């Protein structure tokens, strides 16, 4: 963070706009570096109104979306563990994870590519081994194979965000909750941050407002869209806890699609969760006007996929909720400097960023202070979508 043109007085070195998954960690990692941080959150940390609600998120280090994400996931795990220690409560459960699909499917080839590029201990399983080790997954398509990732697991998103905000505060950050930023105005010397009630002057701004990033950085090609999440209970006399149904991504017998999910953890208060592949095209939604009601018929599709795959699960959802996902055109995040040198962005979740969020917060912090990134993050460069990129 070099400031050869500073004039006047600043309210903080850095404003972080949006303390969700990425922003809470960005505030923490900045404050941990001794940076004077002012964080803004329009709701309360851990709320259920953005992209991070729903009790659980899958964690994997063999990231089929891009081999370069493995070092990000590893750093993220270190930071989640650090947050667990400071929060004094579990945030991450290492369950292991099973990928099941055709040998040439993206979920198999992408996972193998990440494992090979990063020397991961991912075990290949034939169909009979899958059926004997994981009877809950015994229904497969002919020719399906499996990959067992022992480092996969589950995160608790709401608690993790609260823990990161607490850690940020503990490291000296000032946090304004229930405070909606209405505008950011960067210029050569700093950035003016406006809320309904006040105006702040900061040297730099990190825009981590998730589905709302487009309000502040409209040139980024981000598509926020509504998704429905569904939970399922075991049929009477059957078991669908996470020890028999660890984290999974898998194809569906008789269908050309895949699903993801995990088993129940009664002590953590959730049933088994199963969701569909989100492959677009996506209908863009105004994050402030997303329909929060799950309407009759909306869960018929996932019900049929669950019925086709898991005989132990009652395919009628036991619980439903909505959430907002924000896709980029290439399904990878936007993390780093924008065209304005005082504006750094961290977001573009594309449905798989929570696991990385603590480390994405670190990358945001490193970008703001001008530190060398802990890993090559060029594939997440926000400028890749612009003419200059």
Ligand X SMILES: Cc1cc2nc3c(=O)[nH]c(=O)nc-3n(C[C@H](O)[C@H](O)[C@H](O)COP(=O)(O)OP(=O)(O)OC[C@H]3O[C@@H](n4cnc5c(N)ncnc54)[C@H](O)[C@@H]3O)c2cc1C
Q: Which residues bind ligand X (CB under 6 A)?
A: 17-23, 40-43, 50-52, 54, 57-58, 180-181, 208-212, 227, 229, 323, 325, 347, 349, 351-355, 357
Distance from C-alpha of 26 to C-alpha of 347, rounded to nearest angstrom: 11
Residue 41 vs 144, nearer CB to ligand X:
41
Residue 21 vs 242, nearer CB to ligand X:
21
Residue 105 vs 358, nearer CB to ligand X:
358
Kindly write down the DSSP assignment for every residue of 323-343, as one continuous string. Answer: EEEEE-TTS--EEEE-SSTTE
Q: Which residue is nearest to ligand X (CB)?
A: 20
Q: What angle do CA 137, 138, 140 make, to 5 degrees?
A: 90
Residue 75 vs 355, nearer CB to ligand X:
355
Q: Helix 69-87 vs helix 157-170: angle between axes, to the nearest 10 degrees? A: 70
CB of 32 to ligand X, least distance (A): 18
Residue 73 tokens read as 């996931």
Whether the CB-CB separation of 297 and 344 falls below 8 Å is answered with no
Residue 21 vs 108, nearer CB to ligand X:
21
CB of 281 to ligand X, least distance (A): 17
CB of 138 to ligand X, least distance (A): 24
Distance from C-alpha of 260 to C-alpha of 131, rounded to nearest angstrom: 18
* Nearby residues of 47 by Cβ (< 8 Å), 6 or more positions away: 53, 158
CB of 352 to ligand X, least distance (A): 5
CB of 229 to ligand X, least distance (A): 5
Among the residues of the chain, which ranges form H helices? 21-32, 69-87, 106-118, 127-133, 157-170, 300-309, 357-369
Single out the residue of 253, 263, 269 nearest to residue 136, CA to CA.
Answer: 263
CB of 233 to ligand X, least distance (A): 19
Residue 7 vs 68, nearer CB to ligand X:
68
């Amino acid at each position: 963070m070099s400031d050869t043109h500073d004039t006047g007085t600043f309210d903080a070195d850095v404003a972080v706009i949006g303390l969700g998954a990425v922003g809470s960690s960005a505030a923490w990692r900045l404050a941990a570096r001794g940076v004077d941080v002012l964080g803004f959150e329009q709701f309360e940390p851990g709320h259920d109104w953005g992209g991070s609600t729903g009790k659980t998120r899958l964690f994997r280090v063999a990231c089929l979306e891009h081999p370069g994400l493995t070092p990000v996931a590893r750093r993220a795990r270190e930071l989640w563990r650090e947050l667990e220690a400071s929060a004094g409560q579990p945030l991450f459960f290492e369950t292991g994870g099973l990928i099941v699909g055709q040998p040439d499917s993206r979920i198999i080839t992408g996972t193998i590519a990440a494992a090979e590029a990063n020397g991961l201990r991912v075990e290949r399983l034939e169909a009979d081994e899958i059926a004997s080790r994981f009877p809950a997954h015994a229904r497969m398509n002919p020719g399906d194979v499996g990959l067992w990732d022992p480092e996969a697991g589950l995160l608790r998103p709401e608690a993790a965000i609260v823990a990161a905000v607490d850690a940020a505060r503990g490291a000296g950050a000032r946090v304004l909750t229930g405070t909606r930023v209405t505008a950011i105005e960067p210029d050569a010397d700093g950035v003016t941050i406006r809320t309904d009630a006040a105006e702040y002057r900061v040297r730099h701004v990190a825009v981590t407002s998730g589905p709302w990033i487009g309000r502040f950085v409209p040139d980024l090609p981000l598509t926020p869209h509504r998704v429905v999440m569904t939970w399922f209970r075991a049929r009477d006399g059957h078991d669908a806890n996470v020890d028999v149904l660890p984290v999974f991504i898998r194809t569906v017998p008789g269908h050309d699609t895949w699903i993801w999910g995990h088993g129940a953890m009664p002590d953590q208060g959730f049933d088994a969760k199963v969701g569909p592949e989100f492959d677009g095209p996506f209908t863009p939604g105004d994050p402030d006007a997303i329909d929060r009601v799950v309407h009759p018929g909306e869960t018929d599709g996932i019900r049929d996929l669950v019925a086709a795959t898991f005989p132990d699960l009652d395919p009628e959802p036991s619980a439903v909720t909505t959430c907002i996902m924000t896709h980029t055109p290439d399904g990878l995040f936007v993390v780093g400097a924008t065209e304005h040198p005082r504006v750094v962005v961290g977001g573009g979740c594309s449905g798989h960023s929570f696991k990385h969020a603590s480390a994405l917060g670190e990358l945001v912090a490193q970008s703001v202070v001008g530190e060398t990134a802990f890993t090559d993050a060029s594939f997440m460069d926000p400028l890749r979508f612009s003419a200059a990129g």
